[in-house]
Amino acid sequence: MSKHTTPDGDSTVGPSGETTDGDEEPPGIEASDLSLAYEPGEPVVELDRLTVPAGEVTALVGPNGSGKSTLLKSMNAELSPENGMVYFDGRDVEQYETTELARKLGLLSQQNEAPASTTVRELAAHGRYPHRGFFESLSEEDHEAIDRALERVGV
């Protein structure tokens, strides 16, 4: 098991107020007393507690309109909670710089459609954008990371 330490060595505080001293690995994603709304005072998601274990595959399932995409937007700091907080690796997701969070967490919306001519490798390359400058080409390191990712999933 890997150890969790913040870049500055400080302790982290989870949603229930517990602290870690850098020796414990916090859950991947946590939230508590969460209320999400697109219009003030009109919550579309309310939950008491959510814990998504680090390093695990977790499925978020439910009927259409139940708030799955809304919850994912809060995890990616795309939608600020009306109440409560969302933590990723023990930090409030809203404390992350956009690029820093994108390097750690990626979401692919079900509405995304790739042109028919797009290859799997080209789609995988999109995951490298947060690791380079906007106008930079893919580096040898990027190509190696893409190769590892494709090999890992058997492509």
Q: To which H or E segment does residue 45 belong?
A: strand 42-52
The stretch 58-87 carries a mean pLDDT of: 91
Q: Are residues 64 and 126 in the same domain?
A: no
Instruction: Enumerate the β-bridge partners of residue 92.
Output: 87
Q: Are residues 34 and 92 in the same domain?
A: yes
Which sign does the torsion angle of CA 27, 62, 76, 85 carry? negative
Q: Are residues 39 and 99 in the same domain?
A: yes
Q: What does the pLDDT look like over 100-134, one tens digit per residue? A: 888 887 776 666 677 788 898 988 888 888 888 77
Q: Are residues 145 and 88 in the same domain?
A: no
Q: Are residues 88 and 125 in the same domain?
A: no
Q: Which domain holds residue 96?
A: 1-108
| CATH number for position 50 | 3.40.50.300
